[in-house]
A and B are shown apart, each in its own frame.
Chain A
Amino acid sequence: MPLLTDAMKQELQAEIDRSETRKAACIEAMQIVQRHLGWISDESLLEIADFLQMTPDELEGVATFYNHIYRKPVGKYVILICDSVCCWIMGYESLQEHIARTLGIRLGETTADGLFTLLPIQCLGACARAPAIMIRGELYTDLTPERFDEIIASYRREA
């Protein structure tokens, strides 16, 4: 059963059409597939490589290099917690401990209900409003434990 649907292939083809080479579309291609399937499994990696006429090893080399290509399954909501210097000064460690206690997961882990994955991220560019996290591309700043709990509650309601 192929993982790439015709709709996904159309999106991939659009990226290839504007690229100088098929391979040059590979980072966009993996981001497109990940948007649909959540992560890049071995099976989808093989199909993307085939579509782009790359070897699986070559694509794997690219996939494992970048921070936002997931080669393992992640939860429905990925919580990116900034661990860079300004957030560190402004209380990253205590925020991370609070998250770990509240959700019962450490960095790199997913909650048992499959809802949340906690990952560290390099500087979110919100240094004047530290500490900061990002969920589904949404930036949350000046975070306190109380504010974090409210945010998580709203995602639970949505889920």
Chain B
Amino acid sequence: MTVERPLTANIQPGGEPLSLREYEKVGGYQAVRKVLTSMTPAQVIDVMRESDLKGRGGAGFPTAVKWGSVPLDSKKPRHFIADADEMEPGTFKDRVLMEGDPHQLIEGVIIGSFATEAESAFIFIRWEYTLAQKRLRRAIAEAYENGYLGKNILGSGFNLGLHLHVSAGRYICGEGTALVRSLEGDRAIPHSRVPRQTECGLWGKPTILNNVETLCNVPHIINKGAEWFRDLSLCEDGGTKMYSASGRVKRPGLWELPMGTPLREIIEEHAGGMREGYRLKAVMPGGASTDFLLEEHLDVPMSFGSVQKAGSRLGTGAVIVLDDKTCPIGMVHNLEYFFAHESCGWCTPCREGLPWAASILQAIENGKGIPEDLSTLEKLTWMMAPGRTFCALAPGAMEPLGSALKYFREDFEQHIREKRCPWR
């Protein structure tokens, strides 16, 4: 059985991406043509609903629900944003998609904008993705020259401007309301989720924000249909998924696989298992803000629902492997230091709590921990639980910490008892 890989079909590792002409030759921009000349926005949303496409940025929110939540009579112009601010440590799927096939993303942006009647679109890309920026700039210029962007696209009367915004760098921009503030020229501080951004977002206008991988799926769903998309997967969530593995595995990398591929298959088959002399100790299944899982969880299908049942989150599908020769406390300290640095500082639990957690972990790692530290860390996971902070940054940061306290208890205690790191 050949496995279909729609998202990466045009991508040549290490090669140049397809030009607009080459992209058209393999069926590119056919979905835009179909949508603009023969469908209504409501019909596009219906196809997305039938496909059950869920957001690939980490939250798994149904795309059709997001697109459909723009009130029909709401203000215009509306804005459509592709979130290319991929900063979740461990994650690089969107970089590969943008570098490898920039027109695929642009096509998804045009269709999403049409479906939500947005006339202004942005790709919000992180500063460090310099090659993706270069290739997207060229592809956007080609799309304008060939009438896929600009006024009266394909004679349909639909207008769309697309701007590539290069961020000056901050993890919090991955939070939707913070990203919008950044585009407005402000500090990227999250704001209230009421009213929703789909009603009142960028400059007070309805704004739709989708992850890059999500949008790359859209042209294929339009071309081949919802049923085809659902059948690509091995589980209840449709489509394929970009999964990656990093750490001390034999072949770290990124693969497009059916949604619901078991975690074990990703690590043992695609990544080739552990390097010689290393054993697997634990795994973060979906980037830095997901709970650790253990060897006993490896048969979990990597879908939104199944990973949640196992006690973690699918997140970005970026698997980070912790081996037995790396100190788990050192690793958790690295993670909490990252989150502390990237806290925007707006709400107290996150601003004060994350550096507190990081400093306790550093003390334990340096052999200066005391037994009470563990209950303090536990209290911090409770104080930064969902609902106690302004946005999802601190609760996300507590996922690796909370699960580490559960799974690596003995390692914490050994550090404190022996007043040193046993791995150093």
Q: Which residues of A contact B (CB under 8 A)?
A: 18-21, 23-28, 30-31, 61-62, 65-69, 80, 83-86, 88-90, 121-130, 134, 137-139
- List of B residues within 8 angstroms of A130 by Cβ: 246, 252
Give the interface centre of B89, B126, B288, B334 by most chain A CB atoms within 10 Å: B89
Tell which of B185-193, B302-310, B383-391 binds the partner. B185-193
> Is B313 in contact with chain A by the CB < 8 A criterion?
no
- List of B residues within 8 angstroms of A24 by Cβ: 183-185
B205 and chain A: residue at smallest CB distance: A20
**CB pair A88 B331 closer than 8 Å:** yes
**Distance from A80 Cβ to chain B, minimum over Cβ atoms (Å):** 8
Q: How far is the CA of A24 from the CA of B205 in the complex (A)?
A: 15
- List of B residues within 8 angstroms of A137 by Cβ: 130
Q: How far is the CA of A26 from the CA of B167 in the complex (A)?
A: 11
Q: How far is the CA of A129 from the CA of B252 in the complex (A)?
A: 7
Q: A-B pairs with the 3 shortest C-beta distances?
A: A66-B168, A67-B169, A128-B252
Sample of 29 A–B contacts (CB below 8 Å): A18-B163, A21-B184, A24-B183, A26-B185, A61-B187, A66-B170, A67-B127, A69-B168, A84-B288, A84-B334, A84-B338, A85-B288, A86-B90, A89-B331, A90-B248, A121-B128, A122-B87, A122-B169, A123-B89, A124-B128, A125-B87, A125-B126, A126-B92, A127-B90, A127-B92, A128-B245, A128-B246, A128-B252, A130-B252
Q: Secondary structure at chain A's binding surface: helix, strand, loop or mixed?
A: mixed
**CB pair A128 B254 closer than 8 Å:** yes
- List of B residues within 8 angstroms of A21 by Cβ: 184-185, 203
**CB pair B89 A86 closer than 8 Å:** yes
For the A-B complex with A18-B163, A85-B335, A125-B91 known, give 13 more contacts whose Cβ atoms are closer than 8 Å: A24-B183, A61-B187, A66-B169, A67-B168, A86-B90, A89-B248, A125-B92, A127-B90, A127-B252, A127-B318, A128-B92, A128-B254, A137-B130
Q: Which residues of B contact A (CB under 8 A)?
A: 86-92, 95, 126-131, 161, 163, 165-171, 182-188, 202-203, 244-248, 252-254, 288, 318, 320, 322-323, 326, 330-331, 334-335, 338, 341-342, 344
Q: A68-B168, A127-B252 are in contact. Are A85 and B89 (CB under 8 A)?
A: yes
**CB pair A85 B128 closer than 8 Å:** no
Give the interface centre of B86, B92, B171 by most chain A CB atoms within 10 Å: B92
- List of A residues within 8 angstroms of B335 by Cβ: 85
**Distance from B336 Cβ to chain A, minimum over Cβ atoms (Å):** 11
